[in-house]
Amino acid sequence: MKKNVLVGQSGGPTAVINGSLYGVVTEALKHTETIETVYGMINGIEGFLHNNVMKITKEGATEFEFVKTTPGSYLGSCRFKLPEDLNDDIYSKLFKNFEEYNIGYFFYIGGNDSMDTVSKLSRYAEKIDSPIRFIGVPKTIDNDLVLTDHTPGFGSASKYVATTVREIAIDASVYDNKKSVTIVEIMGRHAGWLTASSVLARKFKGDNPILIYLPEVAFNEDDFIASVKTSLETTPNLVVCISEGINDGQGTFICERASDVGVDNFGHKMLTGSGKYLENLVKDKLGVKVRSVELNVSQRCSSACLSATDLNESIGGGAHGVLAALKGETGKMISFERISNEPYKMEYGTQDVNLICNQEKGVPAEWICNNGSDITDEFIAYASPLVQGAVEVPMENGLPKFAYRKQC
Amino acid sequence: MKKNVLVGQSGGPTAVINGSLYGVVTEALKHTETIETVYGMINGIEGFLHNNVMKITKEGATEFEFVKTTPGSYLGSCRFKLPEDLNDDIYSKLFKNFEEYNIGYFFYIGGNDSMDTVSKLSRYAEKIDSPIRFIGVPKTIDNDLVLTDHTPGFGSASKYVATTVREIAIDASVYDNKKSVTIVEIMGRHAGWLTASSVLARKFKGDNPILIYLPEVAFNEDDFIASVKTSLETTPNLVVCISEGINDGQGTFICERASDVGVDNFGHKMLTGSGKYLENLVKDKLGVKVRSVELNVSQRCSSACLSATDLNESIGGGAHGVLAALKGETGKMISFERISNEPYKMEYGTQDVNLICNQEKGVPAEWICNNGSDITDEFIAYASPLVQGAVEVPMENGLPKFAYRKQC
């Protein structure tokens, strides 16, 4: 008997999370001998609990070609953690729903927390001897999943960060007869992969960004100010990249120090980012012109800097998930295994999802240098292949044409 | 006797200010019968005062092809206001320098303040009967210059804003089962042209951004909160675009309510934080999930969203400046005159620079509707032609290849 596919997206979106969806859907629709219907969960497992699903058919999917270059989660997302206790009623309710929809293959596209969902559902399936196969398809701009060389979403986010920092450095240098400091705050609360990517922005050795600070190394304000002061002597328009998650190594984020600064009209503490805090610090200690720029959500949703390598791998990862499930694998996450750097060669694999969920992979200590203020060439060799290749996003009336679900 | 060209850039950079430079330089280098050498002022008129110039030759300019798609000011910029008193010593010093460099044609690429420089220099030239011709080539993302349909730099910035707001709206809608407000703060201190461009982000009638606030209309907090509340009923993930310069109509910026602000060299108030202020206001009054995003400097330096129309016009404007000077015009700014909207047709012209400098053109009142919270279709018809066409930026190793002056 033919079975149906259920696919969902979860957690924060990326520029290529829909590439993975496209990969799952297009591959699944090929296997008409075993797969009857492809269902998408609207707003992930949380939506599915409320029977919020859509059919994705070959016929109705003329607009689906645009999905692969559309940022955000086409199916909608959720942040919903399943209970630790596998005896909780929610599991029997979910599996009853799976049965009603005749689901044979379940694909969940997401990061850490989403892999936790895949882990729990596959363990419950084992417990009740359900034949449904559960596969995780990774995505995260943070690149912090273990047992995979990298994750889809990181390459395009890296490319966005490197491109934007290069442009900001040029913008900052137009008044090159005056000293200035520009602090760029980059996403990544616990892992510094994305911030480290700013090193790719250098056009030549010694170019901006001169200083780069990751959350993996304890941040020291005095060392920071001393480095800024020294660097300004040779680079009058200094660009410093910092992770939003820089911390003192004792569990306190640098931005938390900003809450001492003051309150607004409503009596709320001024919750500013790490960049704003360091902007004020530099102004106070060195008295030079300084500004901070928060790259914000465009890091995960810009379609203008898509990496072709990243998009192709995200599509391939989704497709590989379907093939793995059809081969009988379950409780697995699709992994990306690097065979070589030059030329860049990668192979898809599968890894036990139970070993991945709730783990975090930081930037290796040996790739961080200069007392925690710079990144080594080994990182560049690692990250550079992932940003290669441009993607032509379909345009309409001068702007990118994006797919969207018609909502009622 | 052959004369030399002197060209400079001034004020804040744009994504295509180097397109105008490219236009001036390539056109000037063609006229070998009248023009000997092209000099670039490093850091504008301020740098020229210190003899900070570079020769731009056909031979040395192999990298110059990359200049036209490089953001920022290739020659460096300045914010330097010449004295009102034309008897000030600085004028005789400057004209002595012009003579030493055998300058016959002076081109200054910039906005309001730069046109002020062109105005003063041309008036001084008239006073002392100097034959040097002074031409202003407009640039500003603010689009606030009078006597021209639009200004180079605005089209690409518009395209960046519309694209990014469209992406942010998609990003904001992934949790479409929860209510949220996203406030996007857009550049434009006194003129709302760029903020108005966010209307282009709508994929269909009634799409985000639902509310758009310009500095041209007095901002009322109670009306704003009421509109946000009503809009949330039909658009659960609401996107609101505001100009950094929204104000109470009495000369007080909304962001000033959050904190005291400083002033820049020209006495302009330094703005940050209208978005942050309104974020706190919405949180306080409505208690919904809310965040603010400041688009920041990428609006003026992103090369990823260059408009081909804008870039071509910036190059054409620079070239037209040279042709106008060679015809004997002086004290003029190159203008852009729209002949028709469909098909879009534009012609270059010249206008008296004295009537342009220190003036500001806002968005016409009849293009702002819904009690100052929306933009009419007339604006869309005006702005849409300016964002058309994509530019392929040369890439190297996965990132845009930009030109830069080797600094010693």
CB of B144 within 8 A of CB of B45?
no
- Taking contacts as CB-CB distances below 8 angstroms, the residues of chain A near B404 are 170, 203
Cα A137 from Cα A353, distance rounded (Å): 10
- Residue B388 · residue A398 · CB < 8 Å: yes
With b meaning 16 or more CB within 10 Å and e meaning fewer, what string describes B84-107?
eeeeeeebeebbebbeebebbbbb
Instruction: Report the C-alpha gap between A217 and A258 in whole angstroms.
Output: 20
Q: Which of A142, A260, A264, A374 is catalytic?
A: A142
List chain A residues with CB under 8 Å of B14. none
pLDDT at position A334 = 98
| pLDDT single digits (tens) B193-203 | 999 999 999 99
Average pLDDT score over residue span A229-257:
94
Residue B213's pLDDT is: 98
Q: What is the pLDDT of residue A408?
A: 40
Q: Say yes or no for a CB contact (<8 Å) between B167 and A266.
A: no
Which string of DSSP letters, residue by residue, matches B14-81?
Answer: -TTHHHHHHHHHHHHHH-TTTEEEEEEETTHHHHHHTT-EEE--TGGGTTHHHHTT--S-TT-----P
H/E element, A105: strand A103-110
pLDDT tens-digit map of A160-213: 999 999 999 999 999 887 899 999 999 999 999 999 999 999 999 999 999 999
Residue closest to A27 by CA, chosen among A327, A331, A321, A349: A321
Q: Which pLDDT value is given to residue B258?
A: 66
Q: Which are the contacts of A62, defined by CB distance < 8 A and separation ≥ 6?
A: none
The predicted structure's pLDDT at residue B145: 96
pLDDT tier at A27, thresholds 50, 70, 90: very high
CA B139 to chain centre: 5
Q: Point out the least confidently predicted range of A247-261, A300-314, A341-355, B334-348.
A: A247-261
The rounded distance, in Å, linking the Cα atoms of B13 and B199 is 24
Helix (H, G, I), strand (E, B) or coil at B240: strand
Contact assignment for A304 to B304 by CB distance below 8 Å: yes
- Kindly state the percentage of chain B with pLDDT values over 90: 89
Name residue A298's amino acid. Answer: S
Contact between chains at A167 and B298 (C-beta distance less than 8 A)? yes
Taking only the tens place, the pLDDT of each residue in B145-199 is 999 999 999 999 999 999 999 999 999 999 887 899 999 999 999 999 999 999 9
Give B261's pLDDT tier (boundaries 50, 70, 90). very low
The per-residue pLDDT for A63 is 74
For B104, the token pair is 């016959």
Number of CB atoms found within 10 A of residue A373's CB: 20
Distances in whole angstroms, Cα of residue A2 to Cα of each of A5, A21, A40: 10, 21, 17
Angle between helices A154-172 and A308-326 (to 10 degrees): 170
Predicted structure pTM score: 0.96
Contact A167 B79 (CB under 8 A): no
- In B148-258, DSSP assigns E strands to 180-186, 211-213, 237-243
Q: What is the pLDDT of residue B407?
A: 58
CB atoms within 10 A of CB B359: 12
3-state secondary structure of B340: strand
pLDDT number for residue B273? 83
The radius of gyration computed from the CA coordinates of chain B, to the nearest angstrom, equals 22
Q: What's the CA gap between B196 and B368, in Å, rounded?
A: 9
Q: Max Cα separation, chain A?
A: 74
Q: How far is CA B337 from CA B151, B344, B346, in A?
A: 10, 11, 5
Confidence of residue B142 (pLDDT cuts 50, 70, 90): very high
Which of A47, A200, A398 is nearest residue B389 as measured by Cβ atoms? A398
What is the per-residue pLDDT across B323-339, written as a single tens digit (0 to 9) for each? 999 999 999 999 999 99
Closest chain A C-alpha to B128 CA, distance in angstroms: 31
Identify the residue among B171, B180, B282 best suited for mutation to test binding to A, counting A beta carbons within 10 A and taking the highest: B171
pLDDT tens digits along B32-84: 999 999 999 999 999 999 999 999 988 766 678 899 999 999 999 999 999 99
Quick one: pLDDT at residue A24? 97
Is B176 one of the catalytic residues?
no
pLDDT band at A258 (very low <50, low <70, confident <90, very high): low
Interchain proximity B76–A173, CB inside 8 Å? yes
Q: What is the pLDDT of residue A208?
A: 98
Q: Which of B71, B174, B175 sits opposite A170 (nearest CB)?
A: B71
Q: What is the pLDDT of residue A44?
A: 97
Whether the CB-CB separation of A182 and A172 falls below 8 Å is answered with yes
Which of B142, B149, B264, B377 does the annotation list as catalytic? B142
Asked whether the beta carbons of residue A389 and residue B404 sit closer than 8 angstroms, the reply is no
Q: What is the mean pLDDT of residues A382-395?
A: 97
Residue B259 binned pLDDT confidence (cut-offs 50, 70, 90): low
